[in-house]
Amino acid sequence: MASSHIPTQRMLVTGARGFLAQVVARSAREAGWEVATAGRGQSGPDHWCCPADRSAADLAAHLAEWQPQVIFHGAGSSDVRASFADPLADMSASLGSWTRWLEAARLSGIQPLMIFPSSAAVYGSPEVLPVCESAHCRPISPYGYHKRLCEQAGQEYHAIFQVPVVILRLFSVFGPTQRRLLVHELYQRLCASSPSLEILGSGRETRDYLLESDIGSAVLAVANHSHLARESRSALIYNLASGREISVLDLATQLRDTLGEKRPIVCLGQARPGDPDRWCARTDLFTTAHPRWKATALEEGLRFTLDHWQKTTA
């Protein structure tokens, strides 16, 4: 008699249409997890329709029935500049959505591990680099403030209601499916017929880049070691980055050279609100907890990403 297979690993990924949600859902499925997604749109066997007016109690009933061990919250705002134009909408998209799922997890009674992708924007422009998780948070954008509020909500539900929470502070993410932000913007400019490659800032600004697939593997590492969060008295907070600082000018030069371009790079010196001067993370907390995880080298990640973009746009 053939025995039916009962999945033992279930993950719910919210914000189904978003970049991070797609990356994490794909990584989890490839690793053998049973994955359901939640977001706006038509419901299906592996997708929950979750409009903004759906109550936490309603979501809790679904959680109690499906019983995921892990919820990755991929929903929320993702645009620093838009947060200046409409801070209330940004706060609602971030804090409103996250707290609704935290409350659903509390009401469900199943205590799933909640993984929240925060942002290095909570640090603002750090005084000391590389910045560690214990550094003082001084956001310089509404987006950064709202991510910090989400972190504090996660701490509340972990400490008071014993809902296990892990917070991942993401630095600069790029990859084949990330078709926005600086790496893709520079690629698009290099594909255009302009005589030079223009950079808005001074070019001396620095970032700490991480390939999108490394986020997927990091989330799986956290999910597979959920006992670390369940045994902790407070929500766990980790920087998630490569730990390597690179200037915007050097990044643009690498992209230009990889594509075989010769055009000059012009730095316009126009600073944008909410953009920090320098970013570089200390990552030893995460790598100590998950020693098998390793960030992909920037050069390798850029080649892989550019190759994908060239093939899909040819």
pTM: 0.94
What pLDDT, on a 0 to 100 scale, did the predictor assign at position 42? 65
Residues 48, 13: Cα–Cα separation, whole Å? 10
pLDDT at residue number 230: 97
Cross-strand partners of 181? none
C-alpha–C-alpha distance, residues 148 and 125, integer Å: 14
Is the dihedral angle over the CA atoms 160, 161, 164, 167 positive or is it negative?
Answer: negative
Can you tell me which residue has the tokens 């008071």? 160
- pLDDT of 196 reads 94
Alpha-carbon span 79 to 240, nearest angstrom: 19
pLDDT of res. 304: 96
- Domain edges within the chain: 10-175+209-245+280-296
Q: Residue-wise pLDDT tens for the chain (314 aa)? A: 333 444 479 999 999 989 999 999 999 999 999 999 998 876 776 787 787 778 999 999 999 999 999 999 999 999 999 999 999 999 999 999 999 999 999 999 999 999 999 999 999 999 999 999 999 999 999 999 999 999 999 999 999 999 999 999 999 999 999 998 899 999 999 999 889 999 989 999 999 999 999 999 999 999 999 999 999 999 999 999 999 999 999 999 999 999 999 999 999 988 888 889 999 999 999 999 999 999 999 999 999 999 999 998 75
Q: What is the model's pLDDT at position 314?
A: 58
Among 251, 282, 249, 247, residue whose Cα is nearest residue 268: 249
What is the pLDDT, as a whole number, of residue 270? 87
Considering only CA atoms, which of 119, 145, 22 is closest in space to residue 72? 22
Give the C-alpha distances (Å, rounded to integers) separating 2 from 33, 128, 245, 308. Answer: 21, 60, 54, 42
CATH topology classification for 10-175+209-245+280-296: Rossmann fold (3.40.50)
